[in-house]
Amino acid sequence: MNVFRFIWQNHGQVLELTLEHLRLVGFSTLFAMLIGIPLGIVIAHRPRFNKPVLASANIIQTIPSLALFGFLLPVPWLGERADRLAILALTLYALLPIIRNTYTGIRGVDAAVMEAGRGMGLTESQLLFQVELPLSVSVILSGVRVAVVISVGLATIAAAIGAGGLGEFIFRGLAMVDDRVILAGAIPAALLALLADFGVGWLERRLQPR
């Protein structure tokens, strides 16, 4: 129970790093949604862009995270502040599940429903906002959920480039060979991931079309 005593004694810092962590994950997920959902919609409607877009997102995903942080470090505006850089990197990682699920969700809308809608004289934007998005929102959110859970874990590595977050404890603990310090970062991070998973999962079920 040493760990919990340690966390209690340092609760101010744990809280601060948790908030930093949340900020990294929150912004990167938001940006990834702002980019990924429209991109997913575009490739669902224009299948010839589907392969290149999904392949690029896939390739990004295969770059080891530490290496990606390193690659981005020399970029002028980004390199100035570690948190900017971390948010960009996390955004890039979050793209794939969001794009892929948006694509899958929209492609999964019953063709007969789309044909009927089009035949009735719905415009493309009416079809998108009244039919396609409402019917795929839960699939899209399950992509967001995967993205958030990945980000919470990956964001711990952001501490390696000085972006803060719960990874600070983990790296510090590794350097000090002190399990308590490592766990003071790892436990809140794990809880955060569970909480995000549960929260977005709840939203997903709430918005599930009948």
Partner 1 sequence: MHPAAATPVIEFRDISYRVAETQVLSGFNLQVQSGETVVLLGRSGSGKTTSLKLVNRLLSPTSGEIRVKGVPNTEAELIRLRRSIGYVIQDVGLFPHFTVERNIGLVPKIGGWPQDRIRVRVQELLQMVGLAQEIALRYPHQLSGGQRQRVGVARALAADPEILLMDEPFGALDPLTRDELQREFLLLQQRLHKTVVFVTHDLREALRLGSRIALMEAGRLVTVLAPKDFLRSSDALASAYVRAFGEGLESAANRGTS
Q: Count of residues binding partner 1 (CB under 8 A)?
A: 20
Q: Is 47 in the site for partner 1 (CB under 8 A)?
A: no
Among 116, 100, 108, 111, smallest CA distance to 150 is for 100
Nearer to partner 1, 128 or 187 (CB): 128
Is the Cβ of residue 117 or residue 167 nearer to partner 1 in the bound state? 117
Using CB under 8 A, pick the residue from 12, 74, 76, 119 that binds partner 1: 119
47 within 8 A of 103, measured Cβ to Cβ: no
Q: Give CA–CA dist 101/98, Å, rounded.
A: 5
State yes or no: residue 115 binds partner 1 (CB under 8 A).
Answer: yes
Task: Work out which of 117, 153, 165, 188 binds partner 1, going by CB under 8 A.
Answer: 117
Structure tokens at 150: 């990945």
Residues shown for the chain: 210
Q: Taking each helix axis from N to C terminus, what angle separates 11-45 and 2-9, rounded to the nearest 10 degrees?
A: 90
Place of tokens 């669902």: 44
d(CA 159, CA 179): 17
> CB-wise, 38 or 124, nearer to partner 1?
124
- Region near partner 1 per CB under 8 A, out of 21-29, 119-127, 158-166, 177-185: 119-127
Between 13 and 130, CB nearer to partner 1 = 130
Given candidates 53, 131, 155, 163, which one binds partner 1 under the rule CB under 8 A? 131
Cα 154 from Cα 133, distance rounded (Å):
29
Decide if residue 113 touches partner 1 (CB under 8 A): yes
Binding residues for partner 1 (CB under 8 A): 110, 112-123, 126, 130-131, 134-135, 209-210
